[in-house]
Structure formats: C-alpha cells, structure tokens
Structure 1
C-alpha cells in the first residue's frame, strides 16, 4: 500500500481556495483516486463546534491568543481523528487550510509572532506537516472584492483592510519559509482556468509521491 499524501490549500481571503479544493476533490474522485476532502477549522464534529466559536461574528471580545489556542485545539482533534487515519490507509487528503493559516492570521496579522504560534501548534501536530501545499495567489483588491460579495460573512471576513494587508504580507513570508512544499497558482484567473492549473499541479505532486 502506498503511503498517504497530505495536500493542503492556502490563500488570501477571496482566493477561491474552498471552491477550487472541493472541485479538485470531485475530479480526483471521478478519476478513481482514493481521495478525501476536509477543512480547517472543522472537518469532524468536535472541530466544527470549535469552528463555530472561532468564526461567530458575535465573538468580538475574543483575545488573539485564545483564538490561536482554539485553532490549535481544533487542528489536533481533526488531525488525530480524520487526517492521520486516512493517511494510514494510503488515501490522498485534500485539506482547506492547515498550519500556515495560523502562522499568518494569528502569528502575523494578530501580532502574536510566528514562532509563538508555531510552538503552540507544534504541540498539536507532533511534526505532521503537509507533503505539499497549493497556494492560490490573488491580488489583494481582487480577493477583497470577492469577499465583499459574500452573503454571510464570518468574524474574519469582517476585519478591515489593514488586517487583510497584513495577511497578504504574512503569506509572502510563509511562502518563502516553506518554499520547498509550496506550489503557487495564479488565482486572478477565471474559476475554470484556476481549476485546470490546480488539477495539473496536483497530479504532478501525486506522481512525484508515487500516487499517480
């Protein structure tokens, strides 16, 4: 049995990563690959409950470190209950967000510090990092325009332009820090073009890891 493959999807708000990651999952499934789709925060019942607390627009009093700890707690449960068992079965796991999001949103945009947030998560993930990360890169203005058109905005969607600029700067830093596993996709294109570029990249990643 092949070892499983853990691929995460990251991107600025409005990059389309949720749409694209779900579409890639559906395409791989139709092609007969042993693939599952999941998301963070969430993916399993306990983590989804934590997600509701984190993203509830009413929770404006939430402290930045509390937020970071909640993300790490959700990540831990999701990892041990869903991701690792799937990888042990040789499955391909596509995950909408993972550690990189915490390093950017809490470490940089919230100002806690990248190392501080990494240390919190090191306890949670015990060395389990993605094999590869698809980064959907979108211009800040394009992404925010897409976010503004959403009907239901969560607590992070409601942050101001200063916060989102910090997120964009943070991702530039994280892309460089983990460049060996980063695969950059131009997400300013149409959904169809982004999807085609992403599928090509994912299939190449799978071939490189013996999952082709």
Structure 2
C-alpha cells in the first residue's frame, strides 16, 4: 500500500473510532483528541473539534519535526502526544479523553500517583499496565509534554490531574481499546470505593505480564 493510501486509511480509522467513542459517551462536546503516526509525520485531530463529527480530510498533519503542514490546526494538546512518540518506541497512536470515571479518579485527593488505576481485573493489566498520575497544568501547556518525556517511556498510560487520561498504543485500535479499558476500570474503582475489594496479587500480575507482554 502506498504512503498516501495508508494515510487515507488511517484518517478513516481515526474518524471511525472517534465517532464510536463519542456515541458511547467516552467523550463529549469538543473534548478529547487522537493522533496517529504515518510514514512522514503525525495526524492529529483538530483543536475544538467534536470527535463525533470529524472530517478525515481536515485532520491536521504534522511533519516529523512537528510543523503543521496540512489540515485544520491541531489540538492544543499535541505536546503530550508527541512526547509519547518520542519516548515509547512502537507507539503508533495516542488517545486523550476527558472520560467521566478516569477524570474523577484524577480529581481525588487520595489517588496513588504511582499506581492510580489498581489491578482489579486481568484486562487492565494486559491492555493498560501501571498508570501514573501527573500534576495539574492548564490544557495546552507544553509542560504536559515535558512531564511525559520525564517518564522515559515507562508508562503507556497516564492520568493528568483534574483533566483526564492519555493512552498510547501500537495503532489506533489498540490505543482506543486500552483507553476504554482504563475508563471501565476507573468506574469499577469508584463503584467499589469503601468496599473490601480484592485486587490481583503480585504473582497473578507477573503471570499476566509474562504471558501477554502488556505495555511497560
């Protein structure tokens, strides 16, 4: 497949998954953004665009140096996307949502910053891995990128305090599924809050990591 055809398919994939997430309530209004790597740069959903109504031709394109070269202006949070591509080899897509339950976890004062989505199910271990809570900065602040780079690629997913989750994956499908798994686990965390919940133990987590090789 030519580079142009591959890029066109990637644009359509972004639109399809973005609409699906919007229609199921994972994102509302003009919140959230998605990016995907292509042969000669990066595709990023436009700033102030609703993920439910994207036009594939208007998705922003950046060159390999991060310069905007086509489409509408990219999301103002493009910094956090680029940080994942630069620090996690194999990253092919990044999804940032303001999904309700994960964002709620990011607002709780007692959330563990080093492991903010506990291992309640095997699937969050397999698809997401350990999630780091990063300090609050305003949306669009370049410090978002600096904080993600400082992790050195050690996490495939982070929660931005009082803001929401960011998840990286090998392609759009994988990143979207991981973001959805994170959101559903965050829902479980809040449903079980105050109850004697049973988490997976260290041996169970090690087995999952050995068998399924999840994100670092």
TM over 0.5: no
> Normalising by the residue count of structure 2, what TM-score does the alignment of the two structures yield?
0.28
> Normalising by the residue count of structure 1, what TM-score does the alignment of the two structures yield?
0.29
The higher relative CO (CA closer than 8 Å, separation ≥ 6) is in: 1
